[in-house]
Amino acid sequence: MQPISVTLSTQLKEKPQDESKLGFGRIFTDHMFIMDYEAGKGWFDPRIVPYQNFSMDPASVVLHYGQAIFEGTKCYRRQDGGLQLFRPAANMARMSRSAERMGMPALDEELALEGLKELVKVEQDWVPHQDGTSLYIRPTMISSDVQLGVHASKTYRFFIICSPVGSYYKNGLQPVSIYVEDKYVRAVRGGTGFTKCAGNYAASILAGEIAEKKGYSQVLWLDGVEQKYVEEVGSMNMMFAYGDKIVTPALNGSILPGITRDSILTLARQLGYETEEKRIAIRDVFDDGKAGTLTEAFGTGTAAVISPVGELLMDEERLILQDGKIGPVAQKLYDTLTGIQYGRLPDENGWIVKIS
Ligand SMILES: *Cc1c(COP(=O)(O)O)cnc(C)c1O
C-alpha cells in the first residue's frame, strides 16, 4: 500500500469545552485526509494535512453537474478510553458502489480505510467522552476536471473530514414526528436512490423545509412511481414492528442500503425477533397502526442510530404510535446496537475495528 504522508498543523484549534452543546456537524477537527485520482494513474498522493479550504476553478465539473458522493461513519470512545470504529469497510464498499453509478472511479477501499484510521489516530483527542457522543467521519469524493462539457471527469479528489458530534438524544430516546411527502419524490428505480450522492439530498431539501414549517422534523418518502409504498426517511431507513415481528422496505434500487439497517436486521434476528423485507403500502401502515397490530415505527441511520416515530401525518390524517413515546422493540435494538458500538456489549459479528 502507498505510504500516507502526515503534515501536522502548527496551530491547533481549541476543543469544545461543553460536550452537551456539540450538536451535529458544526465543528471540524485540525486535520483532513486527501488523495487524488487521475485516469491511467489511479489514486495517488494519500496525505493527512491541516484542515483547510480547497481552491477550485469555477468551471470544476462538481460545481455544475454534481458528481459528488459521500459517506458517514463514526468513531466511538469506550469506557476504558479506547477508540473504535463500526463497520468502516462497509462504508468504503458502499462508496465504490455509489461511484460506479455516478461514473466515478472505484475507491481504493484499502487505502481509504487506512487513511481514515490514520486520521482518527491523529485526531484522537477530538473524540468526545460523554455517553452518546462520537466523532462523525465524512468521506467524500468529487470530480475535479475543469470543463463544461458533460463527460465523466478524468480527475477526482477523495477527502475525509471529522466532526465531534453530540448525543442525538438529551433525555433518552425522543420520538420524532414525520411528514409523509405525497407530492415530491426522492428517487426512482434506475436512478440514484441507492447511492449516497449529493444530488439526492439537493432534491430533498425543499420537502424538508415544508415539513419543518408544518412542525414535522423529518420527511417520509414514498415510491417515485405510484407514491403508495414506503421508501425511507431523510437519512434513515424505516422499520415497523408488529409485536415481535419487524418489517422494512426491501432494497429495490431506490432506497439507500443503510449499514445501520443491515446491522439492526442482523441483531433483531439474533435477539429472536422475526424480520421481513418487503414492499410496504403507506395505507397499510396507517390502517394497521389504527387497528393496533402495528405497534412501533422507527428510523435507522448512523447519525441517530434509532429514531422512534411518535407521529405520522399524511394529508390531514394523523397516526400516533406508542402514545408518542418510545416502544420496547426500538429501545431494545437501540440499547443493543449502541452497547456494541461503545464497547459495553460483546461484538459477536466482527463489526468493531479497534483504533486504540
Ligand atoms: C446514509 C443514509 C441512510 C442511513 O445509512 P447508514 O449506513 O445506516 O448510516 C439512509 N438513507 C439515506 C438516504 C442515507 O443517505
pLDDT > 70 fraction of the chain, expressed in percent and rounded: 99
Q: Within this chain, do residues 254 and 214 fall inside the same structural domain, yes or no? A: yes
CATH number assigned to the domain comprising residue 205: 3.20.10.10
The answer to whether the CB of 156 falls within 8 A of the CB of 37 is: yes
SS3 1: coil
Q: How far is the CA of 231 from the centre of ligand 1 (A)?
A: 12
Number of domains in the chain: 2
Q: How far is the CA of 258 from the centre of ligand 1 (A)?
A: 5
- Of 230, 255, 256, best ligand 1 pocket probe by most atoms within 8 Å of the beta carbon: 256
Nearest CA to ligand 1 atom 15: 235
302 lines ligand 1 (CB under 6 A): yes
Rounded to a whole number of angstroms, the distance between the first and last alpha carbons of the chain is 22
Residue with the bigger pLDDT between 276 and 173: it is 276
The answer to whether the CB of 127 falls within 8 A of the CB of 83 is: yes
Q: How far is the CA of 255 from the centre of ligand 1 (A)?
A: 9
- Whether residue 350 is contained in a domain is answered as no
107 lines ligand 1 (CB under 6 A): no
Q: Per-residue DSSP letters for 287-340? A: HHHHHTS--EEEEEETTTEEEEEEEEEETTEEEE-GGGS--HHHHHHHHHHHHH
Nearest CA to ligand 1 atom 14: 235
The confidence score (pLDDT) of residue 173 equals 79
Confidence of residue 152 (pLDDT cuts 50, 70, 90): confident
Confidence of residue 189 (pLDDT cuts 50, 70, 90): confident
Hey, what's the cell of 30? 485540525
Q: How far is the CA of 196 from the centre of ligand 1 (A)?
A: 8
- Helix, strand counts (H, E) of the chain: 8, 18
- Whether residue 126 is contained in a domain is answered as yes
**Atom in ligand 1 nearest the alpha carbon of residue 71:** 1
Q: pLDDT per residue over 21-69, tens digit each?
A: 999 999 999 999 999 999 999 999 999 999 999 999 999 999 999 999 9
Q: Within this chain, do residues 274 and 187 fall inside the same structural domain, yes or no? A: yes
Look at residue 303 and tell me whether its pLDDT is greater than 80.
yes
Q: How far is the CA of 103 from the centre of ligand 1 (A)?
A: 21
The answer to whether the CB of 277 falls within 8 A of the CB of 270 is: no
Give me the domain span that covers residue 134: 5-165
Q: Within this chain, do residues 103 and 184 fall inside the same structural domain, yes or no? A: no
Q: Within this chain, do residues 187 and 311 fall inside the same structural domain, yes or no? A: yes
Hey, what's the cell of 340? 456494541
Hey, what's the cell of 127? 473524540
- Whether residue 16 is contained in a domain is answered as yes
Give the closest residue to 326 by CA, choosing from 176, 217, 111.
176
249 lines ligand 1 (CB under 6 A): no
Q: pLDDT per residue over 90-131, tens digit each?
A: 999 999 999 999 999 999 999 999 999 999 999 999 999 999
Give the closest residue to 240 by CA, choosing from 194, 186, 308.
308
Q: Within this chain, do residues 12 and 127 fall inside the same structural domain, yes or no? A: yes
**Atom in ligand 1 nearest the alpha carbon of residue 72:** 9
Average pLDDT over residues 266-294: 98
- Whether residue 354 is contained in a domain is answered as no
Residue 109 burial (10 A CB sphere; 0-12, 13-18, 19+): middle
pTM, full prediction: 0.97
**Atom in ligand 1 nearest the alpha carbon of residue 91:** 7
Confidence of residue 171 (pLDDT cuts 50, 70, 90): low
Residues 6+ apart with CB under 8 A from 58: none
Q: How far is the CA of 3 from the centre of ligand 1 (A)?
A: 31
> How far lies 170's CA from each of 130, 154, 236, 283, in Å?
11, 46, 19, 33
What is the average pLDDT value for the chain, to the nearest integer? 96
The confidence score (pLDDT) of residue 91 equals 98
The confidence score (pLDDT) of residue 353 equals 98
CATH number assigned to the domain comprising residue 38: 3.30.470.10
Q: pLDDT per residue over 337-352, tens digit each?
A: 999 999 999 999 999 9
235 lines ligand 1 (CB under 6 A): yes
Q: Within this chain, do residues 161 and 188 fall inside the same structural domain, yes or no? A: no
Q: Within this chain, do residues 181 and 259 fall inside the same structural domain, yes or no? A: yes
